[in-house]
Amino acid sequence: MVKKLILSILFTVVFAFADYNQLLDLYKSDFDKIDLNNAYSVITENKNYALSSYVAVKIASFLYYSGDLEKAEKFIDQVNKRAFLKEDYPFYLYIYSKLKNDKQTLKELATGLTHTYYGYKAYLELYPYLSEEDKEKAVETCIKNKHYEKAKYLVYTLEDQNAVNYFLLRLTRDISYFLNISQDSPYFEKALKVAANLSKEYENTYINYLLEKKQLDKLREFLTQRASKEFYRQNYNLFLFYVETLKTYFQTLPEDLIWLMFLYHYTQGDYTQATYYLNQYKNYSKDPYQILYWESLLQGTQLTPPKEKLKVEEITPYLALIYYKSKIKPNILKNRRCSLEPDSTALIIKQLKDKDYKLAYIEGNYYIKTNPCEKLYNVMPEIAVKCFGQNSLCSYVKPFSRIEDKNMENIVYAVIKQESFFDPYAISWSNAVGLTQFIPKTAKWTAENLKIENFDITDLFNPDLGVKFSMWYLNRLISMFDGELVYVFASYNSGEGAVKRFIENRRPKDLAEFIELYPYDETRDYVKKVLRNYVIYDALEE
Give the mean model confidence (pLDDT) for residues 275-285: 97
- Say which amino acid occupies 197: N
Q: How confident is the model at residue 115 (pLDDT cuts 50, 70, 90)?
A: very high
pLDDT of residue 19: 82
User: Mean pLDDT across the stretch 89-94?
Assistant: 98
- What average pLDDT does range 290-311 have in this prediction? 95
Instruction: State the Cα–Cα distance between residues 317 and 243, nearest whole angstrom.
Output: 28
> How many percent of the chain have pLDDT more than 90?
94
Q: Are 318 and 290 in contact (CB under 8 A)?
A: yes
**Taking Cα atoms as reference points, which of 162, 124, 160 lies closest to residue 142?**
124
With CA atoms as reference, report the closest residue to 379 among 338, 417, 413: 338
- pLDDT tens profile 195-209: 999 999 999 999 999
Question: What confidence tier does 17 reach under pLDDT thresholds 50, 70, 90?
Answer: low
Q: What is the pLDDT of residue 264?
A: 99
Q: For the residues 344-357, what does the mean pLDDT come to?
A: 94
CA distance 234 to 267: 11
Cα distance between the two ends of the chain: 37
pLDDT of residue 531: 99
Contacts for 494 with CB less than 8 Å, ≥ 6 apart: 518, 520, 522, 523
Is a pLDDT exceeding 50 seen at residue 442?
A: yes
Question: Which amino acid, residue 336?
Answer: R
Dmax over Cα atoms in the chain, in whole Å? 83
- Residue 82 is classified by DSSP as G
- Domain boundaries, given as residue ranges, for the chain: 2-189, 215-280, 344-387, 406-540
Share of the chain above pLDDT 70, in %: 97
Query: How far is CA 470 from each of CA 130, 289, 415, 485, 525, rounded to the nearest angstrom?
Result: 46, 31, 9, 14, 20
**Mean pLDDT, residues 414-425 taken together:** 97
> CA–CA separation, 79 vs 4, rounded Å?
36
Other CB atoms within a 10 A radius of the CB of residue 371 amount to 16
Cα 472 to its chain centre, rounded Å, is 23
Please give the average per-residue pLDDT across 40-52, as a whole number: 96
pLDDT at 9: 45
Residue 315 and residue 330 in contact, taking contact as beta carbons nearer than 8 Å: yes
Q: What mean pLDDT do residues 227-251 have? A: 97
Q: Which residues contact 436 (CB under 8 A, 6 or more apart)?
A: 412, 415, 416, 419, 420, 460, 466, 467, 469, 470, 473
DSSP 401: -
Q: Output Rg (C-alpha) for the chain, integer angstroms.
A: 28
6 confidence band (pLDDT: 50, 70, 90): very low
DSSP state at residue 438:
B
Nearest-angstrom CA–CA distance, 46 and 464: 31
Q: What is the mean pLDDT of the chain?
A: 95
Mean pLDDT (whole number) for 76-103: 97
CATH 3.30.565.10 correct for 406-540: no
Convert the pLDDT of each residue in 255-269 to its tens digit. Answer: 999 999 999 999 999
- In the predicted model, what is the mean pLDDT of residues 382-390? 94
What is the rounded CA–CA span in Å between residue 29 and residue 530? Answer: 44
Residue 380 · residue 361 · CB < 8 Å? yes
The CA distance from 211 to 249, in Å, is 10
Residue pair 421/435 in contact (Cβ under 8 Å)? The answer is no
Residues in the chain: 542
Q: Is the pLDDT of residue 471 over 80?
A: yes
Residue 54 or residue 2, greater confidence: 54
Of 365, 413, 448, residue with least CA distance to 536: 413
- For residue range 141-189, list pLDDT tens digits in order: 999 999 999 999 999 999 999 999 999 999 999 999 999 999 999 999 9
Quick check: helix, strand or coil at residue 95?
Answer: helix
State how far the alpha carbon of 69 is from the alpha carbons of 99, 104, 417, in Å. Answer: 7, 19, 45
Residue type, 369: K
- Sequence-distant (6+) residues with CB within 8 A of 177 are 165, 166, 168, 169, 191
- Residue among 307, 361, 357 at smallest CA distance from 332: 307
pLDDT band of 36, cuts 50, 70, 90: very high
Residue 269: per-residue pLDDT: 97
Spatial distance between the Cα atoms of 442 and 472, rounded to a whole number of angstroms: 12
| pLDDT for residue 5 | 42
Q: Please tell me the predicted confidence (pLDDT) of residue 15.
A: 43
Contact 296, 316 (CB under 8 A): no
Against a cut of 0.85, is the pTM above it? yes
